[in-house]
Structure 1
Amino acid sequence: MSNIYIIGAGTIGRALAGVLRRHRRDVVLVRASEAVPPSLLRLRVVYEGVPIEEEVAVCGLQDVVRFDGVVVVATKSYGNAALAGVLKDKVGDSPVVIMQNGLGVEDAFLREGIGNVYRCVLFATSQYQEDGGVVFKPVTASPIGVVDGRADILSSVVDAINTPVFPFAGTPDITPIAWSKTIANCVFNSVCPLLETDNGIFHRNEEALGLARKIIAECVAVAELEGIRISAEEVTARLLLISKASDGQLISTLQDIRSGRPTEIDTLNFAVARAAEAKGRDVPVTKALGELVRLKSLALMLVFVLVFLGCRGPVKDGGRVWHRGPVWVPVLIRVWRRVRIWGWVLVWQPAPVLRRGCFRSKACRGIYWFFGAVFRRYTRPMVCILRGTVCCRCTTGRRR
């Protein structure tokens, strides 16, 4: 297992690749989302304020004929079905380590008949810097367990990617740990993006922690129905540990929303909600927060798309710079007027669910305030875009 292939060049993939190269491991960073020619990429990973700069081999997934080492999947979970379809003819007997958050992230690989599948529960955070580097903070050693494969090579798999900077450890049963971490992620990946704040909010703010306890209580009850014995106090302690260790770091879902990318909320809040429904139970707060995150993600992705489609080139007028829109603008104006109305309905529809449990908390009121601000802020600019002109200097959507 001398070669290590890391599929996914996001923040975690880059951090792991840079750290492994620093410890003289043979690493190849494989891009799954785009075709790139084989080349060398200089990575900059900041760990405890100290930069780690290394050159790593990079290639596209289409350039790999056969994997002959450990394969680490560090992509987003929403692309697992397509990725598993490509990997089934390339991995052979190579161990595949799935380094993703959520429940059932390994199912797509098992359906394709891929053997030697291992699950890693990640206890580390990372985010991009303005210069393109990655800030990396490990919380504790990330456990790796067998999902479907050979248990006798688990220690070899762990040793291949384990380093003092980015530590890993083997575990005989990964399922309870995966559930515990998923519950913590249901908190981080819904509350932090909605409040536009960093991971440290829960150890700094008692009201945010109170909302987290409600989510944890709902999810732990579902885990018990699945036969997973987890203590709510244990999950809360782990959540606070992560919150303190990653204070100042932004959760991946918030980074995805700000970049106009899809989120992993389907394998977190909605995965727990589906498990609850299968057992005849309801998780109203967890599901409602997931719906709000999905709505926020779709709203901002729509802004990115409309800005991209609506710009046909700059036009100077009265000291301002405008962008002309496409010729089909009048039709979309009528569509947007209806979307704007239904947007309010979708935002406030979960309100009674949350109001029954925690509407008195400032954190929950902040969620309502934020979504009111989202639609107040983006309604006028988007109508302005559809009419065909957007002022590059003005964010209020003033028309020409």
Structure 2
Amino acid sequence: MFGDAPARYASVDELAAAILSPLEAVAARWIERESKGQRPVTQFRRTRMVASDEGAHAAVEVVPPSSIPGGRALHLAPGEVVFQPGSFAFACSGGGLYCFSQREPQLFEVDVPEEVLSHLAATRWLARGPGGGVALVGPAHVLLIRGTEPALMSLPCRPGGGAVGPIVAVLGDGRTFGVVTAETEDGEGGPELWLSQDGERWSDPLLLLLKGEVHAVASGPLGFFVAGSYRGKRGRAMWLGYDGKAQVFATGMTDAPPLEVAVAGADGAAWAAGAGVVMRFDQSGAAMEASEGGSCPVAMGLDEDGVPWLVTEREVLRRHGAGVPVWRRYHAQPEGAPRLVAIGFHPTGVRVVDALGGGVVLRPADFATTRPFGG
């Protein structure tokens, strides 16, 4: 301390210990108050509607398969790619972790200590980690890559003991991080959602009254949207509000197939997709929307304008919602090309990744054109 200057904290950790607890208490009270009034707890971007009768026009740039150091083949599955803010993404394949530009095919292998290599091989999902970085998640592990030192996060556990099911879905959109575990006899009668803000502690589990299996979970301004299936035959979906109130959708779900992917929009609506089907969910109920796609869904996301996109194994679709909603096809994989697995967004383009690390960059005519993609 110099003169009359106030004392400084000795470290960032010491400062965090002093301020995070009061901030978390204020955030909890804010969430409780806004949830009671069914108001968004945070300011989400507004969704710009694309006219339903507007054509699906986009410039298409083909990205060749990725080049892996050592000549090893890259084989990606849905869930094994995560896009970070900016122009880079991460992928996990064959027990290796790779970083790559959203546009260029060249990969750079990330050095991972030998003691956690087995967890890379068991990784099923990549997501944005709590507080930044990347989370590599499998049925029985959460490995956080933040800075240069990977860290294994302790798995969710019950205060009084008792079994916790394997991880079946991951929430990691950059705003919220969490995992869904399967139902066990020691739970409250359904899958459970566990959240973490710091990558060290888990919140108490949130019961998901889905009456089925969870395949996807997304966060929105009013809560968590959950999609899945009942015994792998029928679709299931629900909203879990930040106030703890659940809305399970029953009407309109009779003909819905298992819902594999989901995304929550800015206006309180959410979308989920199954084989050949896209559905919209809001407080008024569930409804199917017309789609030009037909193959199995692998990913959904919101672009820079908040417009939902859907990737199937063979197609890329975008929702046109001003008028009668319809999902327009912007790209279809040629015969014999590898299947698609992931999607990421940039103000001037949409990067779609295929199983070999290649794919396409799409530039819709209404996207910004002031900066080069990846710049």
TM-score by length of 1: 0.26
Higher helix share: 1
Query: Which one scores higher on RCO, CA 8 angstroms, separation ≥ 6?
Result: 2
Higher strand share: 2
